[in-house]
Amino acid sequence: MLIVRSVRPSEFEQARDFIKSIFPDAMVQLSEEDTILIAEYGGRAVGFAHIIDEGDRVLLQGIGTDPSMRGQGVGTILLEYILSEYRDSDMPIYLKVKVMNPAIDLYSRYGFMVKKFGDVLVLVKKANS
């Protein structure tokens, strides 16, 4: 069974290592004010989401799934969890992805609109949309 839980600050180092295992080239910077979600299957981390609440907007800093679990709904479950947490918020949610990211279709299905900036896409989900 897949569960999603928040990471405690004492677990941030483990979470950073997990994120780096999925995105080895990423500059992973975590702050104690950030929200880190971990999706676990059988007690093993299989996905993560890194959320930064800036007060007037939410930055979905990263979302990723262990390669062994891709295509099995982990990213969808994480995204649905995040959207349910901010359902009653009037803050837009921003997400930066690379142009070739296969998850763009997933984000679009959940109301994110694509804005292109060179080789980077910024996806925006307006409040309550």
Say if 109 falls within a structural domain. Answer: no
Number of structural domains (the chain) is 1
Q: Does residue 101 or residue 40 have the better pLDDT?
A: 40
Residues 89, 92: Cα–Cα separation, whole Å: 8
Please enumerate in sequence order all residues whose Cβ is within 8 A of that of 27, keeping only pairs 6 or more positions apart, or say none.
none
Which is nearest to 64 in space by CA: 53, 74, 51, 72? Answer: 74
3-class SS letters over 69-91: HCCCCHHHHHHHHHHHHCCCCCC
Tell whether 18 is covered by a domain.
Answer: yes
| Residue 6: inside a domain | yes
Does 59 map to a domain? yes
Is residue 103, in this structure, part of any structural domain at all? no
In a domain, 108, yes or no: no
Q: pLDDT category, 126, cuts 50, 70, 90?
A: confident
Contact 48, 36 (CB under 8 A): yes
- Nearest CA to 9 out of 28, 23, 30 is that of 30
Q: Is residue 17 within a helix (H) or strand (E), and if so which, with residue range?
A: helix 12-22
Residue 120 located in a structural domain: no
pLDDT at 34: 94
Q: Which domain holds residue 72?
A: 2-89
Give tens-digit pLDDT for 97-107.
887 788 888 89
Residues 46-71, mean pLDDT to the nearest whole number: 93
Residue 117 falls within a domain, yes or no?
A: no
CATH of residue 20's domain is: 3.40.630.30
> What percentage of the chain carries pLDDT values higher than 90?
63
Full-model pTM = 0.87
